[in-house]
Amino acid sequence: MLESFRYNDGCVIARSAEAKGLGIGMGAPYYQVREQMRRQGVVARSSNYTLYADISNRVMRVMAEMLPGIEVYSIDEAWGDMTGFADPAELGRSIRNRLAHEIGMPVGVGISTTKTLAKLANWAAKKWKATGGVLDLTDPIRQEKLLRLAPVSEVWGVGHRSAAKLAALKISTAWELAQFDIGTLRKTFGVTMERTSRELRGVSCIGFNEGPPPKEAICSSKMFGARQTELQPIREALAAYVARAAEKLRAQNSLCSTIQVGLQTQLADRNGPRFADAITLALPSPTDDTREILAVAQRGLGQIYRPGYPFSKCSILLMNLSQRGELTPDLFAPKPRHGAARLMAVIDQINRREGRGTVRIGRVPATPVWAMRREMLSQRYTTRWDEIIGVRG
C-alpha cells in the first residue's frame, strides 16, 4: 500500500518513494491523478497536522533523553550533540532502534564533523539500505568518497536555482563544490554558499544551536475548505490565522509593528467573479500579543471585505519585526496589557503539550465551516481518545 498526502484535499504535497516511482508529481492537482492513483493502488490521505506534531514531539523527547543536547531544526529533523561519545555510530543505532520500538517511527541518522556533512550523511543513510539507516561520516576518506558520489543538489542549502547556477560553473557534485574557489563562490552566490563549501571541507561554520536567523516577516494563510461570502466566517478564519502567526512570532522572540491583511476570491476561476485586495496597518506599538494584533487585523478585514463575492482565501502578514529588547519603547505608546507576556506563554505551552488549538481565540469555533477539506483524514490516534487504535482479541 502506497501513500500520497494532500493539502485541503486539493493537491499532492508529499509522496512515498513508491508513489514517486509511479510518476505522481509534487503539487499535482488531486483530480488529475485520482484515477491513476486508484488504478495503481495508491492510498491518498489528507494532511494530519495534529498527528504529525505529536509524533514529532515524542521523537524529540526521546532524543533529548539520549543526548546531552539537541537542536530542533524542523518538525521531522533535529541535530544532536554527540561530543565525547566513543562510538557515535553505535549511539545512532541505539537512538534509531528506540524510536522504532517506542514510537514506530523510522529515522535516518547522519553523523559527521559539520552540520552540512551530517546532513549529507543522513541523505546517504536513507538512500542506501546497506548503511542500516546510520552513517558515520567523521572519517575524511569516507567523506571524500561520499562527496564524489553525492549530487550537489543534495547538499544542505543548495536549492534548485543554486544548483542550476552551479552547473554553469561545471559543479555537479558535492566534491566539486567543496574544492571550488572560495572567493568565486562568495562573489557569485554570497557568504552562505562560501560557508557551505567550507563545511563540506570539514570546517565547522555553523555552530550547535545556531539555527536560522529570525524571519523578517511571518505569514499565515490557507485556502478555505469551501468558498465564503459572509463576513462572519472569514473573521473566524482570520482569527485562527492571526493566532498561528503570533505563535510563530513569539517562538522567535520577536515583536511586530506592522500587519497586512489580504482577502481574495479564486483568481484562477475565469468564469466566476474575481476580487483581491490587501491593507497594511501599523500597530499602536510593537507587540506579540495575539489579541492586540487581532483587533487591528479585524478592523483591516472590515475595510477590504466586499459583500457577495465567493472568497476562497484570507491571509495575515506580520511585518516590520524586531527582537524583543532591541527597540526603545515609545513613551507615548499605550502600555501592554498587564500580564500579557505570561498569558501568551501559558497558552503556547498548553498548545505545545496538548495539541494546537487546545486553547484558542473565542471567536474560532471548534468545527468551522471554512476549515480546509480533510475528507480522507487518518486517525489522530495519539491525541484523541475517540480515534485511538483498537485491538481485538
pLDDT tens figures, 32-74? 888 888 888 888 888 787 788 889 989 999 999 999 999 988 8
Mean pLDDT of 24-31: 82
Ranges of CATH 1.10.150.20 domains, the chain: 108-212
Confidence category of residue 245, pLDDT binned at 50, 70, 90: very high
Mean pLDDT of 158-186: 93
Mean pLDDT of 20-29: 83
Q: Is CATH 1.10.10.10 what the domain over 108-212 is classified as, yes or no? A: no
In angstroms, rounded to a whole number, what is the distance separating the alpha carbons of residues 179 and 197? 8
Q: What is the pLDDT of residues 270-313, one digit of tens each?
A: 788 899 999 999 999 999 999 999 999 999 999 999 999 999 99
Ranges of CATH 3.30.1490.100 domains, the chain: 218-354
pLDDT higher at 258 or 16 = 258
35 CB burial (10 A radius; 0-12, 13-18, 19+): exposed
Query: What is the predicted pLDDT for the residue at 223?
Result: 87
Superfamily of domain 218-354: DNA polymerase, Y-family, little finger domain (3.30.1490.100)
Q: Which residues contact 298 (CB under 8 A, 6 or more apart)?
A: 235, 238, 239
Share of the chain above pLDDT 90, in %: 60
144: number of Cβ within 10 Å: 13
Q: Which residues contact 356 (CB under 8 A, 6 or more apart)?
A: 49, 50, 53, 244
